[in-house]
Amino acid sequence: MKTRIPSRFAIHDLLCFALAFPPAACAQGVPPLVIIDGVGDATARRTDPGADGSFDPAAHPPIDLREVRLGAWAPLAPAADLFTGSFSASGDFVRLDLIVMGVVNPPGSAQPDEFNPFEFGDRPVFGFVEIDMDQDVQTGGELSSPCYHYLGNTARFGGKTARPDFQDRVALDASACDDGFFTPPLVKRHGEEFHLAFRENEGNPAEISHLIGNDNAVFEAGETWNISGQFFHRAHGYEPFSLVDGGDDAGQYMPHCTLQFRHDPSEDVTCISLVFPLTNTGAGLMAGQPPEPLDHTAANQSSVLEALTDLQVSATVLAMLPPPAPPEQAIIDGWQFLDPSDYLDPTQWAVTVLFGNSYVEPDPSGEYFVWTDAYPNVVRGDVNGDGLADLQDQQRIQAYILHHDEDDGQLDGAAVIPEFGQNFSIFDIDQNGVCDSLDALLVGTPGDFDADGDVDLRDYSKLMSCFSGANASFADAACALTDYNLDGDIDLDDASMGLTGPVD
């Protein structure tokens, strides 16, 4: 149940005074911020109990992020075309480009009761791009669904992000998503002000314009689509404390926006772009009308500045109310002392990305997504988040195994993760549902089990020493590798691809 600000309408006069004198609006950006993600690092991470949900990576290849571009943007004719223009420090819009490998189409619905994820093509993108505009993890976040966001899932990729401000916030297993607001890890406190949501469109149905293509409702190679809908959301953690009205829920700031999906056949990449007003000057240019004053609704002209100004005013009003304040109010309190116009340079925003695609059939557990890529990347085997996979990480994995070995009633040198898939552990480096000596061996270069800098027959011998009994075989060794061929499992084919290199 949401906590609402008391005496909401009693503060109307104070609110009107604050909006009559909004902070000056000017984006001091430089074109653009470019973030490079590793190509070919997409790996399927199921989220259903049992990790056996129907997923076909051959028919629906994993989403692989290549690049992010972010900057202030000046469209040539904003009322007609937001996406033709240039990055400019004086632009009144923000442009966010997400470059993904291959043909990637908009998502349909992955919910079990309305299951149609492949409505627009075989490779829908699901997930979230979270944007921390003030670069402060103390402000902003998601209170109700952190398990679907970056901090709730990045450990599934075999390590802990090395970002210093996230060290106490990464979910090491699924239990973190159910903990209290101040209970470590603080997974609900990402720090985001906005996120771009790739899932079935919330609110009104999306409107699609086929700019280039055959108009058959399937996104294909060489096509360009513009899609209008409610995809760009201010962080939902602000909603109980915001003065915003006009949405489906009080405090909700989910303006209509336009996304563009454009496939480039020459590079075989899809560029997914958002262009959105930074200021109400930009909102007026987009509407072909004079700019409207800043207010507390996303139902008319809306902008990043308007949304941030609401946070500043709301936080100021909250500070005047008598205690006690709910603990979750800490998400907005810091905005009382900030000038929203200081945070309109997109090149200074911090970005995280979590992408995936869908199961082939609806999952009865209600789990919708198979995560495949995340940014910032993690170092495989780096469980302490120092950016290295080394002896300290091996010792932590071994300590975890020792502590949880008998949780399944057997003392066998292995810690079994219950309901694996939905649950997970950062110490399960190969993400197969069991933490054992093989996970410790995977710390460092994949396949380099003797840590000599190459992958050869001596690594195979080292690996085989972990097995006992007459049934140990090359196929057993494969389970310690990774899903090199991205077919959704780890088997002899992956071993053949992983154990390559000079034979000493």
Whether residues 364 and 429 share a domain: the answer is no
171: left (phi over 0), alpha (psi -120 to 50) or beta: beta
pLDDT at 134 over 70: yes
Decide which of 374, 397, 414 is a domain's last residue.
Answer: 374
Decide which of 374, 401, 435 is a domain's last residue.
Answer: 374
Whether residues 422 and 360 share a domain: the answer is no
Q: Report residue 61 as tokens.
A: 């290849």
Whether residues 416 and 486 share a domain: the answer is yes
**Residue 174 within a domain:** no
**Residue 165 within a domain:** no
Query: Which residue range is the domain that position 429 belongs to?
Result: 387-498
d(CA 21, CA 313): 11
Residue 164: phi and psi, rounded to 5, are -55, -40
pLDDT at 20 over 50: no
Whether residues 144 and 278 share a domain: the answer is yes
Q: What is the pLDDT of residue 464?
A: 62
CA 319 to chain centre: 32
Cβ distance 158 to 381 under 8 Å? yes
Whether residues 320 and 448 share a domain: the answer is no
Mean pLDDT, the chain, rounded, equals: 85
Whether residues 431 and 494 share a domain: the answer is yes
Whether residues 263 and 351 share a domain: the answer is yes
Cβ distance 241 to 318 under 8 Å? yes
- How many Cβ atoms sit within 10 Å of the Cβ of residue 80? 10
d(CA 399, CA 403): 6
* Kind and range of the H or E run holding 101: strand 93-101
**Looking at the 3D structure of the chain, how many domains does it have?**
2
Q: Give the up-direction half-sphere exposure of residue 35: CA atoms within 13 A in the CB hemisphere.
A: 23
Q: What is the pLDDT of residue 487?
A: 56
d(CA 173, CA 151): 11
The angle, 0 to 180 degrees and rounded to 10, between the axes of the packed helices 304-319 and 12-20 is 140
The string of pLDDT tens digits covering residues 318-341 is: 999 999 999 999 999 999 999 999
| Residue range 423-441: mean pLDDT, rounded | 93
**Residue 172 within a domain:** no
Determine what percent of the chain is predicted with pLDDT higher than 70: 81
Whether residues 359 and 397 share a domain: the answer is no
Q: Could you tell me the CA-to-CA distances from 415 to 138, 399, 418 in Å, in that order?
A: 35, 11, 9
**Residue 287 within a domain:** yes
Q: Which of 106, 103, 110, 102 is nearest to 120 (CA)?
A: 106
Strand 369-375 vs strand 350-358: parallel, antiparallel, or unpaired? antiparallel
**Residue 162 within a domain:** no
Whether residues 60 and 101 share a domain: the answer is yes
The string of pLDDT tens digits covering residues 4-13 is: 333 333 333 3
| Residue range 179-186: mean pLDDT, rounded | 87
Q: Which of 75, 85, 294, 277 is nearest to 194 (CA)?
A: 277
DSSP-H helix ranges across 159-297: 280-287
Decide which of 313, 344, 374 is a domain's last residue.
Answer: 374
Q: Report residue 305 as tokens.
A: 């500045």
Whether residues 369 and 398 share a domain: the answer is no
| Residue range 478-488: mean pLDDT, rounded | 51
pLDDT at 466 over 80: no
The lowest-confidence range among 285-294, 310-319, 491-500 is 491-500
Residue 95: phi and psi, rounded to 5, are -120, 130
Whether residues 365 and 422 share a domain: the answer is no
238, 240, 246, 252 alpha-carbon torsion, rounded to 10°: 40
Whether residues 261 and 362 share a domain: the answer is yes
**Residue 1 within a domain:** no
In the numeric block, the tokens 């109010």 are attached to 329
* Kind and range of the H or E run holding 396: helix 391-404
**Residue 503 within a domain:** no
**Residue 156 within a domain:** no
In the numeric block, the tokens 């057993």 are attached to 476
The string of pLDDT tens digits covering residues 118-129 is: 999 999 999 999
Buried b / exposed e across 383-412, counting CB within 10 Å, b at 16+? Answer: bbbeebbbeebbebbbebbeebbeeeeeee
Q: Report residue 250 as tokens.
A: 């009080």
| Residue range 107-124: mean pLDDT, rounded | 93
Q: Give the up-direction half-sphere exposure of residue 207: CA atoms within 13 A in the CB hemisphere.
A: 5
Q: What is the pLDDT of residue 9?
A: 30
Residue 178: phi and psi, rounded to 5, are -105, 0
